[in-house]
Structure 1
Amino acid sequence: MSTAETLILTNARVVTPDTTLDNATVLVRDGLIAAVDEGRSTVPGAVDLEGDYLLPGLIEMHTDHMEKHFQPRPGVLWPSPLAAVTAHDAQIAAAGITTVFDAISCGQYDEGSMRRQMLADQIAAVKHADAEGVLRVEHLLHLRCEVCDPCVVEIFEPYRADPLVRLVSLMDHTPGQRQWSDLSKLRQFDSDKGWSDEQFNARVEQRLADQDRYAHKHRALILSMARTREDIVLATHDDTTEAHVDEALAEGATIAEFPTTYTAAAKAHAAGMKTILGAPNVVRGGSHSGNVSAIDLARDGVLDGLSSDYVPSSLVQAAFHLSDLIDLPLPAGVAMVSANVADMVGLPDRGRIAAGKKADLVRVARVDGVPLPREVWRDGRRVC
């Protein structure tokens, strides 16, 4: 994407890493932030933001939102991968996200699953759309490796050296532990499958057998492949116990994604791992799976960042909601969806409104208290 030469955004409430500057001005030159100044610019052509907030472009490190465009209904694959990925991209941009890690599942889970085909289609479509210059935001890949799945290693292996793959997470969704410690929650989640109790129980037994057979071996193989790349960040998923965190630390993971308990989150944070919880958890006031509250973790200083997970618009809402609810300074709330995430995924060139950083920016208005993105710039060019 080419960059605009010069852009002046003025009369804005600019959220910097340290404070919020009222009636401030941001100068962009050649795709980078050149200056952040207090006071309103009188330069002809300056864009008046009318007192709205100006935030750094949001950074999303785990969303399965793209999958919904490729498979909008169970058993239905959308016929145009390019149309699917650009529709996803447009919604991501409209949410104020300028860098997205598309989280793609490496694992079939069930016989007849379309996920293996969708993985190949999604990666190819992202590359196609980027080559055609039709993407609004920057797309990178987060491969979510279901270590108990019989096919995970052969699914992951072809993409181990792909330069778009920058984040790998180790997941274990075996019933009875981690996210699905409460089987009734899993039964509710799978209600659309129409399984009888007998079928559900048989599926649980099969998943337990798969865990016993594959989990240890597959974790080791995925780790071995990921470690050949210095630019791949490793995360673990749904850690629940201190033993889970100890395992993650021994494996070299630096991010704890969606720890399900306060104990696991606190242990990971104290050990130097970065903790990520869902922004919907903040907006809804709790986890839909009955897991630990993101608000409680933020209040106690053990939450480092947020992911929109399944609702892109939740990212900006959560940043403001935390500021309103627990008196967290707005720059700290915004950092949880920008700078903090940029640092943990190895992208120090973005996520802050500061001189020298990428001019990825989002204008946000509050309407009835709800933060709504109005304009988005990537590399100094307006994309939404």
Structure 2
Amino acid sequence: MTMTETILTNARIVLVDEVVPGTLVIRDGKIADIAGGVTRAGEDMEGDFVIPGLVELHTDHLEGHYAPRPKVRWNPIASVLAHDAQVATAGITTVFDALRVGMDFEADLTMEDMRRLADAIEDSVRENRVRADHFVHLRCEVSAPDCLEAFALFDGDDRVKMASLMDHAPGQRQFASLDAYAMYYMGKLKMSEEAFRAYCDKRIAQSQENSAPNRIAISQACRERGIVLASHDDATVEHVSEAIEQGIRVAEFPTTQEAAAASKNAGLGVLMGAPNVMRGGSHSGNVSARQLASEGLLDILSSDYIPFSLIQSAFFIGEAVDSISLPAAVAMVSKNPAEAVGLTDRGVIEPGRRADLVRVRVDDHVPVVRTVWREGRRVA
């Protein structure tokens, strides 16, 4: 077998706890050596940063490619490839594509659409069409009557590595404030006040009937299958206690400082949205990711609905929160998410790890992704 070797020199290499000017050697898809100084051999990085490939645990971005307009459906493989190209060129080398399980009233998608997208992801991985390493994350809307039926469509699916338990009914978690819920959904669905009240009554009734049994059933199934469980939009200490009982490992988007602190103290990985970091606050009026970062309560960032926001936030958050170094910020988008889901072969630049790497130059406070490698192979 022919050995392949790539040398990257004159780089600012972002390690776990320091930035080292030097040279990086890639051999057969893995990091073989890291050394200080510049060599004559190899590709000149021109002083650019080289960071680990980004690990994205929760992106809703794929759905927009598949259903770009109401009632419009795009070819699922083409949708995956368009999504994949945008993800990879944003420096993301491992991505957990979030697919909804359990349909909201307003959803212009069905459970069959989600299974179709999962099939397209898996077929594209198998046929080596994609640039990033793709896994499936099931967003389980536990208040929905069809949640368990939709979840069953993924039985035996080995690419499913993560599932989150969420309840978007009014008065719950993300939308504990009915005013915020009204602003979001009345604007989104163009409802009258009377129609909105009826909508709320129905959503609340469904939540009361379905949420508790669905949480128990899905969390049990995920524990049996080794699927990493995440809570979603926890708002209280009681929510966090419930999450711990269910075997949750990642606290996604806690809506209050109280819930984030309880999650952190319990050893859960606290995940917040990179758009929240960049905007300076939550679009729903919940706790600011910057605030949690300043209090040491933030572990993981997710691009959520804007792929580029992940690398953007890694190079920005240190400007907003003085206590966060560049290596610590990069860990939030590489090492920490990888460890949270048990991917111990990536997320850090050190010998023996996968050569998932991103070359980045910062121009006018904006990171410019210049090159991306996955397992030593250039993909962007």
TM range (shorter): over 0.9
Residue identity over aligned pairs, in percent, reads 48
Post-superposition offset of 1:112:
6.8
Label 1:55 to 1:100 Cα distance change in 2 as closer, same or farther (>3 A): same
Q: Deviations over 1:123-179 (max 9, x none)?
A: 011112122211000000100111110000010013132110000111111101211
Q: Deviations over 1:108-130 (max 9, x none)?
A: 11177413132011101111212
**What secondary structure does 2:25 align onto?**
strand
Amino acid at match of 2:29: G
Amino acid at match of 1:40: V
Q: Is the 8 A contact 1:299 1:326 kept in 2?
A: yes
Label 1:214 to 1:86 Cα distance change in 2 as closer, same or farther (>3 A): same
Amino acid at match of 1:87: A
Post-superposition offset of 1:4:
7.8
* Residue in 2 that maps onto 1:36: 34
- After superposition, residues 319-358 of structure 1 pair within 5 angstroms as 319-327=314-322, 328-358=324-354
Amino acid at match of 2:340: M
Amino acid at match of 1:39: G
Counterpart check, 1:147 vs 2:146: no
Counterpart check, 1:160 vs 2:159: no
Counterpart check, 1:308 vs 2:308: no
Amino acid at match of 2:215: R
Post-superposition offset of 1:271:
1.2
The counterpart of 2:120, out of the listed 88, 106, 125, is: 125
In 2, Cα distance between equivalents of 1:176 and 1:269: 24
Q: Is the 8 A contact 1:4 1:381 kept in 2?
A: no
* Residue in 1 that maps onto 2:368: 372
In 1, Cα distance between equivalents of 2:13 and 2:235: 38
Runs of 5+ consecutive residues of structure 1 not aligned to the other structure: none
Q: Deviations over 1:259-298 (max 9, x none)?
A: 0000000011011111000001111111111111111111
In 2, Cα distance between equivalents of 1:66 and 1:284: 22
Runs of 5+ consecutive residues of structure 2 not aligned to the other structure: none
**What secondary structure does 1:127 align onto?**
helix
In 1, Cα distance between equivalents of 2:277 and 2:106: 35
**What secondary structure does 2:330 align onto?**
helix
* Residue in 2 that maps onto 1:27: 25
- After superposition, residues 78-97 of structure 1 pair within 5 angstroms as 78=74, 80-97=75-92
Counterpart check, 1:255 vs 2:255: no
The counterpart of 1:245, out of the listed 240, 245, 248, is: 240
Post-superposition offset of 1:192:
3.2
Post-superposition offset of 1:226:
1.1
- After superposition, residues 151-230 of structure 1 pair within 5 angstroms as 151-190=146-185, 191-230=187-226
In 1, Cα distance between equivalents of 2:113 and 2:171: 28
**What secondary structure does 1:7 align onto?**
strand
Q: Is the 8 A contact 2:70 2:108 kept in 1?
A: no
TM-score by length of 1: 0.96
Q: Is the 8 A contact 1:160 1:225 kept in 2?
A: no
In 2, Cα distance between equivalents of 1:296 and 1:91: 29
Q: Is the 8 A contact 2:219 2:247 kept in 1?
A: no
Q: Is the 8 A contact 1:3 1:31 kept in 2?
A: no
In 2, Cα distance between equivalents of 1:157 and 1:356: 38
Counterpart check, 1:299 vs 2:299: no
Amino acid at match of 2:250: I
In 2, Cα distance between equivalents of 1:279 and 1:291: 14
Q: Is the 8 A contact 2:93 2:133 kept in 1?
A: yes
Q: How many residues align?
A: 378
Q: Is the 8 A contact 2:31 2:349 kept in 1?
A: yes
**What secondary structure does 2:370 align onto?**
strand
C-alpha root-mean-square deviation of aligned residues, in Å? 1.4
Label 1:313 to 1:4 Cα distance change in 2 as closer, same or farther (>3 A): farther
In 1, Cα distance between equivalents of 2:132 and 2:191: 40
Label 1:146 to 1:112 Cα distance change in 2 as closer, same or farther (>3 A): closer
In 1, Cα distance between equivalents of 2:302 and 2:141: 19
Label 1:112 to 1:98 Cα distance change in 2 as closer, same or farther (>3 A): closer
Amino acid at match of 2:354: K
**What secondary structure does 2:224 align onto?**
coil
In 2, Cα distance between equivalents of 1:354 and 1:365: 21
Q: Is the 8 A contact 1:4 1:31 kept in 2?
A: no
Does 181-190 or 213-222 show the bigger shift?
Answer: 181-190
* Residue in 2 that maps onto 1:277: 272
In 1, Cα distance between equivalents of 2:225 and 2:40: 49
Amino acid at match of 1:28: I
Q: Is the 8 A contact 1:278 1:294 kept in 2?
A: yes
In 1, Cα distance between equivalents of 2:103 and 2:225: 25
Post-superposition offset of 1:324:
1.8
Post-superposition offset of 1:99:
0.1
In 2, Cα distance between equivalents of 1:279 and 1:115: 28
In 2, Cα distance between equivalents of 1:117 and 1:72: 17
In 2, Cα distance between equivalents of 1:192 and 1:219: 27
Q: Deviations over 1:194-248 (max 9, x none)?
A: 2111111101000111011111111111122112113x11110000001000100
TM-score by length of 2: 0.97
